[in-house]
Amino acid sequence: MIVRSDGVPAYNLAVVVDDAAQGIDQVVRGDDLLSSAPRQAYLASLLDVAAPEYAHVPLALNGEGQRLAKRDGAVTLESLAEKGWGSDRVRDLILRSAGLPEGTLAGALEAFQPSGVPRGAWIVGPGELS
């Protein structure tokens, strides 16, 4: 399907066209979208544009196993900033979730090992985002 019943372009087509128009060559997203990558790569080939390289990472879940997503009312960067979180604190939380040392991105890159990337969901504890 290229257009939904409401006339809006289908997500898979829209994202392929948008990525191509912006020159996107790498996409990192949640593993809940893993099954979309082959469809999008196929659409890119039909449109004669280069498909980006796709990487899918585990989702962040709350203690009840529900994903943390902005569209589901989960915490946003804006809400963290309103609570007084600075960019360093957000960076450190993200690095910690990936099993990397807190601090600089250069330090995290130095410590990065593909085999050390967590394979399971990141369960965010009750007070971790407060």
Tokens of 24: 């996107």
pTM score of the predicted model: 0.66
Could you give the C-alpha distances from 98 to 21, 22, 112, in angstroms and in order?
Answer: 31, 28, 9
pLDDT of residue 102: 95
pLDDT at residue 38, rounded to an integer: 95
Which domains does the chain possess? Answer: 1-57 (3.40.50.620), 58-130 (no CATH)
CA distance 88 to 103: 8
Nearest residue to 47 (alpha-carbon basis) of 13, 85, 77: 13
Q: Which residues have CB under 8 Å from 98's CB, separation 6+? A: 108, 117, 118
At 78 the pLDDT is 87
CA 105 to chain CA centroid, Å, is 18
Nearest to 92, CA basis, from 104, 75, 78, 74: 104
What letter represents residue 76's amino acid? Answer: T
pLDDT in tens, the chain (130 residues): 577 888 887 889 999 999 999 999 999 898 889 999 999 999 999 999 999 999 998 888 888 888 887 666 677 888 889 999 999 999 998 898 888 999 999 999 999 988 887 888 888 877 777 7
